[in-house]
Amino acid sequence: MNACKKPRSDTIECGQDMNSCDTEALQAWRTALNERLSLSKEDTSRILADFDRAMAYYKKNGIPVEEAVSRLDPDRLHSFYRKENSRLFPLEYPARIYPFLGSGKLRTVFCLTAGLNEEVVPELLQIALLYVLRRFPTFAGSLRPGLFWHSLYLNPRHFAVAEKSANPCSEQNMKLMPETNFRVFFSKKEILAEFSHVLTDGYGGMLFFDALLREYFRLLGIPVSLGIHSLPADEEMKEEELENVFQRQKPGRTHSEFHPFSLRPNLAIAETTPDRSVYFHMNADELKTAARARNTTVTIYVLGCLFQALKACTNKKNGRITVQIPVNLRNYIDTRTVRNASMFFTPSLALSEINGRQQMYERIKQQFESCAGKEETLHAAGNTALLVRAITPIPLFLKQFLIQLIYPVIGLSPYSAFFSNLGVLTLPEDMESLVEFIRTDMYCGNAAAAFASLAAWNKNAVLSLTENTSDSSLEQEMKRLFEKDGITPVLETDPG
């Protein structure tokens, strides 16, 4: 083998301190990278610039060229970033409704956030995104209207991470993604991924987020093993992950109640919504202890607190408070889908029933058992499929008119608030020393005053309140209720 020599003086990009072996490795790497790209000149240039910035970061931090080239292996892109990869994906049944709600203030989005122990390296987060999108191609799709429904059109191009400039699920963020239905943001020690429900539900979003974090840490030189539900980032997408689970459910009778006149808190709605986000950082063990004291689950305990806080913020004497909650169909059926597989359940209590006593929690539990069990949930999914199939022959433009006319009345107005619990996340254990917390935000329009979501990781539970008001009454009442039950939440506010 020939000995390595000093590089020629014209290899400017390689630097004067590299030998010829390093120079040749970089040139071979750049050639292989070019061979993996077949996009527009603009998109190709941007992706090449992303990899150049990542390589410059490695050089600045003393990473050997051989190691840098290995981490930035062009083969991990496979053939994803090529024009010929264009493809149409039909939307699953619930997602077919969401595109009609994407204008104005009727948006259905959620955001996942990881709080890291070290500062984010944007150059490497950018490469992680480019790698992971190949594994989740539907996330790279843009909406295309058809004769009867929208579809997701996969048109591979450059996707860029951005520095966080607004609170999660804000109108400002939505304006930044006209072509895509998700965005990846970062702040000093946070990585955020925001999704439209056109793409997926919370479970599918968490699979993507898990893969993004693992790929980011790999680029940092920190290998992370797969979690229980992790999808390997270097594998190809499987067709079973695109399943429309609603197609195989049979319609049937359900016992869900509809309450068209649910009460809302007496809180001034902000002109720009959502107005801000409030986060309750809590010890997960304290939360479980409080739930056990009520002989119930964490979901029902937090929901009970939310009912009480909403009641405290209304001056009405009579009426009902109703909260909409997603139920994961994956709890009841075997599926590998990364797309929407959730139905909604709406527990409701009269003001006279909301008293914080054990009977209140038992009443909520009864509603869960009777309306959110396996048979009820699968029948509701079958009813959704039946409805979507029934309106399929209606032309797209007429569907849009009808849905935007009806949905604000039957889709948002009946609810006082929304609540989602992702539960204890099953991320790889290797991440415990790397990720301090995971939280989730959600937003579904401006009819309700608050959208609450809960996630637990590494003994840290974070309850997020995305609010349409600058009035702090709701979170202060939630804080009081938690403290009364022995929980010591630390509140963090993102004013947007």
pLDDT of res. 26: 93
pLDDT class of 12 with cuts at 50, 70, 90: very low
List 195's β-bridge partners, or say none: 110, 182
d(CA 2, CA 289): 68
Mean pLDDT of 146-165: 88
Which sign does the torsion angle of CA 259, 366, 331, 463 carry? positive
Mean pLDDT of 153-165: 88
Dihedral-angle region of residue 458 (phi above 0 means left; psi in -120 to 50 means alpha; beta otherwise): left
Residue 260 has pLDDT above 70, yes or no: no
Q: Which residues contact 494 (CB under 8 A, 6 or more apart)?
A: 167, 168, 276, 277, 278, 279
Residue 496 has pLDDT above 60, yes or no: no
For 325, phi then psi, to 5°, come to -135, 130
- Each residue's pLDDT tens digit, 346-385: 899 999 999 999 999 999 999 999 888 899 999 989 998 9
pLDDT of res. 113: 94
- Each residue's pLDDT tens digit, 17-69: 567 788 899 999 999 999 999 999 999 999 999 999 999 999 999 999 999 99
pLDDT of res. 308: 96
- Tokens read off for 397: 């433009």
Through-space distance between the first and last CA atoms of the chain, rounded to whole angstroms: 60
Average pLDDT taken over every residue of the chain = 85
* H helices present in 74-135, as ranges: 122-133
d(CA 363, CA 355): 11
Query: CB 449: neighbour CB atoms within 10 A?
Result: 26
d(CA 44, CA 83): 11
List 88's β-bridge partners, or say none: 153
pLDDT of res. 181: 81
- Each residue's pLDDT tens digit, 100-121: 765 544 457 899 999 999 999 9
- Each residue's pLDDT tens digit, 322-357: 898 999 999 999 999 999 999 988 899 999 999 999
d(CA 259, CA 367): 14
Distances (CA, A) of 253 to 280, 341, 386, 435: 38, 19, 13, 44
Q: Which residues contact 272 (CB under 8 A, 6 or more apart)?
A: 170, 171
d(CA 469, CA 449): 7
For 329, phi then psi, to 5°, come to -65, -20
- Each residue's pLDDT tens digit, 120-144: 999 999 999 999 999 999 998 888 8
Has this prediction a pTM greater than 0.75? yes
List 192's β-bridge partners, or say none: 113, 185
pLDDT of res. 64: 94
How far, rounded to the nearest angstrom, does the alpha carbon of residue 361 sit from its chain's CA centroid? 29
For 339, phi then psi, to 5°, come to -100, -170
Distances (CA, A) of 21 to 7, 27, 29: 9, 10, 12
Chain position carrying tokens 């204890």: 424
Residue 250 has pLDDT above 50, yes or no: yes
pLDDT of res. 144: 86
pLDDT of res. 6: 41
- Tokens read off for 93: 């049944």
Please tell me whether the peptide bond between 428 and the residue prior to it is cis, using omega within 30 degrees of 0. no
Chain position carrying tokens 């479980």: 288
Chain position carrying tokens 């433009």: 397
Residue 454 has pLDDT above 80, yes or no: yes
pLDDT of res. 440: 92
**% of the chain at pLDDT higher than 90:** 54
Distances (CA, A) of 420 to 79, 143, 308, 377, 406: 37, 26, 17, 16, 24
CB 124 within 8 A of CB 216: yes
**How many Cα atoms occupy the beta-carbon half-sphere of 184 within 13 Å?**
26
pLDDT of res. 222: 95
For 276, phi then psi, to 5°, come to -165, 170
pLDDT of res. 331: 93
Helix (H, G, I), strand (E, B) or coil at 90: strand
